[in-house]
Amino acid sequence: MENRSFYNEILTEHNLHPEFKHDLPDADIVLEGVNPSCGDDIFLKLKLDGDVIADGAFVGDGCAVSQASADIMLGMIVGMFLKNRAPFDAGIKFTSKKILQWAVILLGFGMNLTVIGQTGVQSLPIILSTITTSLLVAFILCKALKIPSKISTLVGVGSSICGGSAIAATAPVIDASDEEVAQAISVIFFYNVIAALVFPLMGTLLGFSTTSGEAFGIFAGTAVNDTSSVTAAASTWDSMWGLGSQTLDKAVTVKLTRTLAIIPITLVLALVRSKRTAGEGGKKVSLKSVFPMFILYFVLASVITTVAQSLGVDASVFSPLKELSKFMIVLAMAAVGLNTNPVKLVKTGGKPLLLGFCCWLGISCVALAMQHVLGLIA
């Protein structure tokens, strides 16, 4: 129940102080966006100066993903029409790089390794299979469709591990640009919304058990990209069949186990980058120079949380750090948006979207096949 409480808190509470979340009373354009599955209700407000967007803001309620999405979009809009960006460049760069890494570190304070070890082992073969599938699909389509390798890596990792958090952790390791990060996150967010809507229906059509939430919980936890959509799909299944929180508890635990894959993935990518850089330039590059040190701090934060809770410290003690992590992610996403060219993003978005769909399809099929092999579904 502690796990469930933690994720309900993270995924239902708003990011308290996003960069662009404030009222704009004299807005010339107001647009409402609603996602009934997650309960998101966002109002986007734009202020015009002639034909130019002079300012933007959003208000409303929603999950962390919807808040981050709105912030990225407004960052892109404001950045597009910001005539003199020079005074802001240093701050934008610092926020999109360093603060993003600090946000990943603080995510570790939401990871109780003991709980994951006790209940997540069952899903481990499925998780390993789906991660491998997604990365292979990303690699093959990168070559076949000539998609930039960094975007392919970010989409592959984001699809298979934990959406935006995995992208945030991987981007500095492979030295991805802000536009590449924005492209990958846009793809992941797009399929998050679809997953939250279609997975409960898919579960019904595929004949998942309606008397136990275990099978669908594992499926949602392994095949849906981001935690918010995992929670939305699992909670919907619980509500549909009166299962209390069975599905949600299982799905969240599986998702936490997936999140741990950030550690080996980033370490391997750092090693590959070190060797590739040395091979291309003829100059030896030390692993230390590209090693993602913030991942070690992420692990340390997880260990601190695990030890503290085993000694009786209440999980709520770490709540402020988890909230701070969400706030930092929103700041970083706003900075990414400010450093992104939306016109270029739209023009180059077709292939990454196709890549994201193929990764998602491959993950879903492999997850179903592995559950059948393990006897979790008929």
Give per-residue pLDDT as tens, 28-48.
888 887 776 566 788 888 887
Banded pLDDT at 135 (limits 50, 70, 90): very high
Query: What is the per-residue pLDDT for 93?
Result: 75
**Range 237-252 average pLDDT:** 86
- Is 137 a member of any domain? yes
User: What domain range includes position 244?
Assistant: 2-10+108-333+340-373
- Is 38 a member of any domain? no
- Is 176 a member of any domain? yes
Contact 212, 244 (CB under 8 A): no
pLDDT higher than threshold 50 for residue 13 = no
- Is 56 a member of any domain? no
Residue 32 pairs in a beta bridge with 43
Q: Which of 212-226, 283-297, 305-319, 357-371 has the lowest mean pLDDT?
A: 283-297
Q: What is the overall mean pLDDT for the chain?
A: 79
Specify the higher pLDDT residue, 8 or 116. 116
Query: What is the per-residue pLDDT for 376?
Result: 83
Matching residue, tokens 């699809």? 159
Whether pTM > 0.85 for this model: the answer is no
| φ, ψ at 34 (rounded to 5°) | -125, 130
Highest mean pLDDT among 111-115, 169-173, 239-243: 239-243
Residue 21 pairs in a beta bridge with 58
pLDDT higher than threshold 70 for residue 82 = no
Banded pLDDT at 6 (limits 50, 70, 90): very low
3-state secondary structure at position 61:
strand
Contact 51, 88 (CB under 8 A): no
- Is 94 a member of any domain? no
Q: Which of 2-6, 162-166, 242-246 has the lowest mean pLDDT?
A: 2-6
Query: What is the per-residue pLDDT for 7?
Result: 34
Residues 134, 362, 257, 128: is their CA dihedral positive or negative?
negative
Separation of alpha carbons 280 and 277, rounded Å: 5
- Is 360 a member of any domain? yes
Specify the higher pLDDT residue, 259 or 222. 222
Can you read off the two tokens belonging to residue 27?
């807005």
Query: What is the per-residue pLDDT for 48?
Result: 78
Share of the chain above pLDDT 90, in %: 22
- Is 245 a member of any domain? yes
**Range 327-350 average pLDDT:** 67
Separation of alpha carbons 108 and 259, rounded Å: 10
Q: Which of 167-176, 241-250, 333-342 has the lowest mean pLDDT?
A: 333-342
Query: What is the per-residue pLDDT for 14?
Result: 32
Contact 37, 196 (CB under 8 A): yes
Contact 163, 224 (CB under 8 A): no
Banded pLDDT at 308 (limits 50, 70, 90): very high
- How many folded domains does the chain comprise? 1
pLDDT, tens digit, 9 for 90 and up, residues 180-195: 887 888 788 778 778 8
The torsion defined by the Cα of 263, 269, 270 and 273, in degrees rounded to 10, comes to: 180
Query: What is the per-residue pLDDT for 270?
Result: 82
Exposure b/e, 227-254, CB count within 10 A at least 16 = b: bbbbbbbbbbbbeebebebbbbbbbbbb
- Is 103 a member of any domain? no
